[in-house]
């Protein structure tokens, strides 16, 4: 059997592909592991690879670009050259980043089949670069691994050409596989100033590149009814510094800013916190894992994870300060009972994907 090329570009992709890498190795499928370079610094990527005890990438690039288009083009150039050299039977990508789209396009242009893990997600918000990336990737993929029936319906509605399989989401596999390791290895709680806290993240371009929204978030965290632990994305820190807000926020007694934390540390913070306030998509899924089960306030106008909302784990609260604060107060006061079962599967998604790939490539 020919090689399968697994390509990642950011830390969420590394996390979600980790169970797939293990499942493919278990199935004796030969792998080429590639980091195409969208998140190129140690804290944002290599740290995660080491923590999850994954093999070092066979090939990796560092792509610095000042625009979405330039970044996508540079990754395409690298990946076209690499795919010509390695000739995999299948290229496997995950999610909705520029690296995912660039890799998928490079593969298709060379006639190499693409498998898209986490296919079919839709926010229906075209301001988001991720929405363009995932839609385009779905429409050039040969195999579409949809995490839920909702995602499958989205794909069928758009008449995608590839084969659709509902597998569950590998992010649940990752949480289940790694939480016990995290609780043994992580020492993050020794550095946390608060016994009870909310965990916050904010990094999306449509939020942090909008000064009004960014200020809303910072004021919200400073005035929150519970202390806020805030691992800060480099993009967010840069925007705060550019607008001369960072020093003031760092002095707030209600906010503890952390540098980007490793995945194992983040799992422990999710397990320990009272609630999560985020604009991340993946965190909305992780919070539903049976071993985490935390309420999530989504500080966006839409979500491509409607299952988290429908099941009661997540609530879309927008980007205005008063709405976020009201939701935080309500969440603390009501303490509603969350479902025992995740809408994103039982933790066996990666094994299902590996089995499908083995059968398809053998056929």
- Residues carrying an active site annotation: 203
Whole-number Cα distances in Å, 346 to 74, 167, 168, 264: 37, 10, 7, 20
Task: Dump the DSSP string for 212-248.
Answer: HHHHHHHHHHHH-SS-EEEEPPHHHHHHHHHTT-HHH
In contact, 228 and 198? CB cutoff 8 Å:
yes
Closest CA to 282 of 141, 174, 210, 125: 174
Two tokens, residue 113:
């089949």
In contact, 114 and 104? CB cutoff 8 Å:
yes
φ/ψ (deg, to 5) at 265:
-60, -40
In contact, 170 and 117? CB cutoff 8 Å:
yes
Rounded CA-CA distance 174/16 in Å is: 6
């Amino acid at each position: 059997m020919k090689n399968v090329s697994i390509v990642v570009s950011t830390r969420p992709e590394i996390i979600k592909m980790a169970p797939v890498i293990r499942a493919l190795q278990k199935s004796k499928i030969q792998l080429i592991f590639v980091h195409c370079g969208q998140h190129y610094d140690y804290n944002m990527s290599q740290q995660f690879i080491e923590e999850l005890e994954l093999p070092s990438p066979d090939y990796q690039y560092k792509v610095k670009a000042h625009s979405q288009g330039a970044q996508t083009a540079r990754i395409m150039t690298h990946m076209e050259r690499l795919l010509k050299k390695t000739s995999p039977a299948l290229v496997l990508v995950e999610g909705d980043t520029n690296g995912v789209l660039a890799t998928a396009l490079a593969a298709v242009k060379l006639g190499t089949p693409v498998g898209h893990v986490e296919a079919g997600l839709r926010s229906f918000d075209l301001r988001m670069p991720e929405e363009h990336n995932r839609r385009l990737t779905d429409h050039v993929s040969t195999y579409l691994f949809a995490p839920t029936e909702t995602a499958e319906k989205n794909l069928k509605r758009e008449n995608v050409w590839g084969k659709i399989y509902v597998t569950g989401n590998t992010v649940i596999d990752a949480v289940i596989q790694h939480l016990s390791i995290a609780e043994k290895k992580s020492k993050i709680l020794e550095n946390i100033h608060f016994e009870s806290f909310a965990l916050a993240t904010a990094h999306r371009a449509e939020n942090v590149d909008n000064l009004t929204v960014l200020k809303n978030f910072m004021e919200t965290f400073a005035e929150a009814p519970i202390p806020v632990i805030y691992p800060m994305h480099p993009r967010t820190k840069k925007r705060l510094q550019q607008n001369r807000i960072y020093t003031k926020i760092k002095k707030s007694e209600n906010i503890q800013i952390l540098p980007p934390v490793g995945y194992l540390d983040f799992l422990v913070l999710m397990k320990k916190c009272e609630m999560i306030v985020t604009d991340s998509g993946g965190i909305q899924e992780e919070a539903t894992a049976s071993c985490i089960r935390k309420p999530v306030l989504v500080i966006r106008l839409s979500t491509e994870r409607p299952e988290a909302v429908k099941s009661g784990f997540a609530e879309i609260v927008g980007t205005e300060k008063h709405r976020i604060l009201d939701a935080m107060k309500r969440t603390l006061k009501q303490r509603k009972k969350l479902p025992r079962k995740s809408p994103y599967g039982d933790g066996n998604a990666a094994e299902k994907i590996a089995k499908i790939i083995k059968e398809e490539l053998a056929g």
